[in-house]
Structure 1
Amino acid sequence: MNEWLTTVGSSISAAVVEIESNPILNMSIFAAFVAVTMFIVVRASRNNRSAADYYAGGRSFTGPQNGFAISGDYLSAASFLGIVGAIAVNGYDGFLYSIGFLVAWLVALLLVAELMRNTGKFTMADVLSFRLKQRPVRMAAALTTLAVCFFYLLAQMAGAGALVSLLMGIDGAVGQSVVIAVVGVVMVLYVLVGGMKGTTWVQIIKAFLLIGGALVMTIWVLAMHGFSINTLLESAVAASEHGDKILGPGLQYSNPLDFLSLALALVLGTAGLPHVLMRFYTVPTAKEARRSVVWAIWLIGLFYLLSLVLGYGAGAMVGPERILGAPGGVNSAAPLLAEALGGPVLMGFISAVAFATILAVVAGLTITASASFAHDIYANVIKKGKVSGKGEVRVARMTTLVIGALAIVGGIGVQNQNVAFLVALAFAVAASANLPTILYSLFWRGFTTTGAVMSMYGGLGSALLLIVLSPVFSGTETSVFADIDIAVFPLSNPGIISIPLGFLLGFLGSVLGRRKEDPRIAAEMEVRALTGHGAEKEVEH
């Protein structure tokens, strides 16, 4: 039986290798998608007249629309490219990303999503500074937002480079670097032109295409294996050099502490992601916010179930060796599976969907980062609120250019890194720097400005320091800087240390520091967050 499975697996892999991609066809589909979405973005941008239009889409989207947009924003390149590749190569350990991302969304829903939205603000810093001192809290929150967005952008840019390189048949570091730069310029144009309205419609369309494409591929993979999960898993085992080890834990995370650190970062990180939380500001009422959450849960849950079949399907029908040897490495699993199923046409379509995934997420990240700098640092810290909405939006557009340039440079530096793994680092930073302050602000009246500042800077600093001192940064062949070795922290994810530290610093800063906050404002924030009372009036302004 095992010999037969090995023969079948080898035959499938050999057949896949013989399929030749068609760069002209792939790029034609890619260009058509870019043209259509750019048209939509331009049309949507015609009504961008105020800061609320640019940052929150005029709060004009319905619950179902925002539910699709949330799923489009949340299901990033990590979800599609990174997780499918991780499962194809590492099996069970790769599927842990799907579980972590899904559970993380439920944590964000139950603890912070609607409460944050009920404050009726634009950015995370608006909420955190509601009852604390404006300038120090806004500055800290803006810096942590920029840090999280930058890490997340690195993952999306790495995925974009891998994807377009595969489409065009480009190999080598120089070719992929050029691709990352070109893709970065295109994506920045979307943000500059469309604002949040254009971004939201791209996210809605992308969610339809991504979930629909994943569903079609899943049914196709199951049909080729007799609609039997067992047969699919047996084929994946036969195609893997690790054999049946891909069906159990430990292949990628043999260190239990490393796994626990990753799990903490994934489960707690979403609730601190500024670009996901910002989506709840685009609906007009708390009722629509709840409706959008229900839609998002079903869509996101469905996709992560599909990722299991797609991952093992890629392992069985493409093979880990070919995946790792392709341009973009592990991130190329999903497009190669599409090629194995439907040839160049399906590969071109799925690759266009994957690019839409990257495009939508990067647009949301870039708007969040630019809004954080323009609204929090420039308008409220530097100008102390004495700036017009047009002036604020102008600064946000200028910030977009700077963020785009940094994302391009960073994306070139992390080529061939698994995008799901890079996103896990962004989750760790979010959970360490943002989540403690968010929860303390919403649920603890004794929380103070000192506690907020200590929590955000301490969580951010410890997470970044541990990442630099970890094998992710140096010391191994897969490190960002493989030629140097300063790794003294043994774990790949800092969450197990930096997340508890962020909570501890927030507590100590509030207990030991001076309390000058007005308890009446804390009570007002609690009532508004829990009931939505006063939020609609705030929105109108």
Structure 2
Amino acid sequence: MKHLLLAESDSVDTGNSTLNIMIFVAFVVVTLVVVVKVSKVGTSSASEFFTGSGGFSGTQNGIAIAGDYLSAASFLGIAGAIAIYGYDGFLYSIGFLVAWLVALLLVAELLRNTGKFTMADVLSFRLKQRPVRLAASISTLTVSIFYLLAQMAGAGALVALLLNIKSDAGQATVITIVGLLMIAYVLIGGMKGTTWVQIIKAVLLISGVLVMTLWVLLQPEVLFNFSNLLGMAQDAVNNAVHGGQLSEKGQAMLANADGTPHNIMAPGAQYGANTTSKVNMISLGLALVLGTAGLPHVLMRFYTVPTAKEARKSVVWAIALIGAFYLFTLVLGYGAAALVGPEKILSAPGGVNSAAPLLALELGGEILLGLIAGVAFATILAVVAGLAITASASFAHDIYASVIKKNGASEEEQVRVSRITVVVLGVIGIVLGILAKDQNIAFLVALAFAIAASANLPTILYSLFWRRFNTRGALFSMYGGLAITLTLIVFSPAVSGKPTSMLPDADFAWFPLANPGLVSIPAAFLLGIIGTLTSREKPDVARRAEMEVRSLTGVGAEQALVH
């Protein structure tokens, strides 16, 4: 099989498949019981289904945000990227974490005060409702589908590793099961059920990663000396490159152009050391730092708390938990390189994404592997459920109720349409997840961040802080940012032209950067300015003043925004 980096005869021990299945089933049963119990409280109204009636505390919501944010990309993708690329992999962690400062300082409180259910509530507050809501919903659906794609790919990689499934049909079956479970979670529990699943998952994930981190640092060769761990990891990369068993793709991932091993403690391992590669790293960092404040499923969590103060508190909790987690992944990534070895990681089903589970197997055997994999599986389920409810709420509330029904849809109708949308999204996620199952999850999520930072963030900031901003500016920014980002992604090395591309046998890449953030984000900001300045639309002074007062004080935030 072309996706395996070593010979097919090489086998990777992935533990007891029966034990792994039993732990998976236990996690699913427990979380489903919680969802069913929560759903009895009520999920029939739009407020209950979309935001849990704003009934969560800042602490609860902060833990849930961490659960929503610490996805398969964070656990499997980043740990794997650090194991193979070292410093370049940790760049994902830095970007994901620093991004929360942007969300805390610029977005969280103001968004909570101004919105009701979705991001489009804020963007359309003082602009023309129908065109802006339609654009915001299309952007939300696009970002959610890209993010969903990454989580589904992670599910396939994880379960394929644990059950030692190497066939494409087997991995496709796993991804299908994850999609069906996601649909069940959202249909049964709505936002309340999804939030409690995220809280449970966050506690389990951070606890499990902490245990593994301490276990690595307690190894006799390490004994809390991180320098020793780095040296062991570099030696493992050197041995893998000089061993002569790597395929062309494996060699490209671990060696420089001249065949020498990458220095995993310095920049350039993932993209190389030339000028284009350095610019690529800047582009990636920009997308990661600015992307979080434009992610619809993260922004929607601010509506599940009763006040702006609780929204700020939830972000502070999220930053603390997420920051600790990413420090742990640094140890796990280098620990996997040192103790498992790059060759074994790349030869396992799931490739790069198998680093953390294989490290668990190396440290604690089949039981720890099963437990950690169960937590990772719960991670994927919680995140895809959060994505699904966000995208479905956006379609039902912004497209169906506001655009199609012209604000004439009842809350019951919105909930019904949202449930139907969840099923459709589940099917789309399954199909795309199957197509992308061999890609690094952190990289796929970085593309979703680039779309969010380009299509959403400029419009959010302009709506909140620029008085002259108008409808044409919003449409230019959202549609233009979305179109530019998607175009550059399609014609980038991420899709074709390299052994590590999604389509390694094709080559239609004319854009040199794997992540388009450096070009698409400034372009979207510029388009917002151009659209605004070229429009003759007269600003609604009264609505602008109301939005300014509400966003800064929270007065009237509990009232409906449809007008």
Match of 2:38 among 40, 44, 50: 44
State the one-letter code of the partner of 1:227: F
Match of 1:227 among 224, 227, 240: 224
State the one-letter code of the partner of 2:25: A
Give the structure 1 partner of residue 132 of structure 2: 137
State the one-letter code of the partner of 2:32: M
Give the structure 1 partner of residue 248 of structure 2: none
Is contact 1:265-1:428 (8 Å) kept? yes
Match of 1:197 among 192, 199, 202: 192
Superposed displacement of residue 480, structure 1: 2.1
Match of 1:59 among 51, 54, 63: 54
Give the structure 2 partner of residue 87 of structure 1: 82
- After superposition, residues 30-429 of structure 1 pair within 5 angstroms as 30-46=24-40, 47-224=42-219, 225-241=222-238, 245-254=263-272, 255-429=277-451
Superposed displacement of residue 478, structure 1: 2.5
Question: What CA distance in whole angstroms lies between the structure 2 residues aligned with 1:456 and 1:19?
Answer: 47
Give the structure 1 partner of residue 247 of structure 2: none
Q: What root-mean-square deviation, in Å, do the aligned CA atoms of Structure 1 and Structure 2 show?
A: 1.5
Helix, strand or coil: the match of 2:117? coil
Give the structure 1 partner of residue 546 of structure 2: 524
Superposed displacement of residue 44, structure 1: 0.9
How many residues of Structure 1 are paired with residues of Structure 2 in the alignment? Answer: 525
Superposed displacement of residue 537, structure 1: 4.1
Match of 1:508 among 515, 530, 535: 530
Question: What CA distance in whole angstroms lies between the structure 2 residues aligned with 1:251 and 1:57?
Answer: 44
Is contact 1:339-1:347 (8 Å) kept? yes
Helix, strand or coil: the match of 1:213? helix
Give unpaired runs (5+ residues) of structure 2.
1-10, 239-254, 256-260
Superposed displacement of residue 351, structure 1: 0.4
Question: What CA distance in whole angstroms lies between the structure 2 residues aligned with 1:162 and 1:152?
Answer: 16
Match of 1:26 among 20, 30, 54: 20
Helix, strand or coil: the match of 1:171? coil
Question: What CA distance in whole angstroms lies between the structure 2 residues aligned with 1:18 and 1:58?
Answer: 48
Is 2:474 aligned against 1:452?
yes
State the one-letter code of the partner of 1:278: M
Query: Deviations along 1:382-433, whole A, 9 cap, x unmatched?
Result: 0011111111100000001111111111011111100000000000000010
Helix, strand or coil: the match of 1:534? coil
Superposed displacement of residue 514, structure 1: 1.3
Question: What CA distance in whole angstroms lies between the structure 2 residues aligned with 1:183 and 1:438?
Answer: 33
State the one-letter code of the partner of 1:344: E
Match of 1:485 among 474, 491, 507: 507
State the one-letter code of the partner of 2:269: L
Alignment CA distance shift 1:108-1:227 (3 Å): same
State the one-letter code of the partner of 1:128: L
Give the structure 2 partner of residue 9 of structure 1: none
State the one-letter code of the partner of 2:233: A
Helix, strand or coil: the match of 1:246? coil
Is contact 1:161-1:176 (8 Å) kept? yes
Helix, strand or coil: the match of 2:267? coil
Superposed displacement of residue 18, structure 1: 8.2
Give unpaired runs (5+ residues) of structure 1.
1-16
Helix, strand or coil: the match of 1:240? helix
State the one-letter code of the partner of 1:492: A
Q: Which runs of 4+ in 1 moved over 4 A?
A: 17-20
Give the structure 2 partner of residue 6 of structure 1: none
Question: What CA distance in whole angstroms lies between the structure 2 residues aligned with 1:429 and 1:347?
Answer: 34
Give the TM-score taking structure 2 as reference length. 0.91
Superposed displacement of residue 20, structure 1: 5.4
Helix, strand or coil: the match of 1:536? coil
Helix, strand or coil: the match of 1:253? coil
Query: Deviations along 1:38-71, whole A, 9 cap, x unmatched?
Result: 0001111112131100000111111111110011
Superposed displacement of residue 476, structure 1: 2.3
State the one-letter code of the partner of 2:423: L
State the one-letter code of the partner of 1:34: V
Question: What CA distance in whole angstroms lies between the structure 1 residues aligned with 2:262 and 2:227?
Answer: 12
Question: What CA distance in whole angstroms lies between the structure 2 residues aligned with 1:66 and 1:34?
Answer: 22
State the one-letter code of the partner of 1:25: L
State the one-letter code of the partner of 1:253: Y
Q: Kindly, what percent of the aligned residue pairs are identical?
A: 67
Is contact 1:19-1:340 (8 Å) kept? no
Question: What CA distance in whole angstroms lies between the structure 2 residues aligned with 1:219 and 1:456?
Answer: 45
Question: What CA distance in whole angstroms lies between the structure 2 residues aligned with 1:452 and 1:526?
Answer: 17
Is contact 1:285-1:536 (8 Å) kept? no
Superposed displacement of residue 517, structure 1: 2.5
Q: Please identify which structure carries the higher helix content.
A: 1
State the one-letter code of the partner of 1:481: L
Is contact 1:413-1:480 (8 Å) kept? no
Is contact 2:12-2:347 (8 Å) kept? no
Helix, strand or coil: the match of 1:118? helix
Question: What CA distance in whole angstroms lies between the structure 2 residues aligned with 1:274 and 1:309?
Answer: 30
Question: What CA distance in whole angstroms lies between the structure 1 residues aligned with 2:348 and 2:262?
Answer: 24
Is contact 1:86-1:311 (8 Å) kept? yes
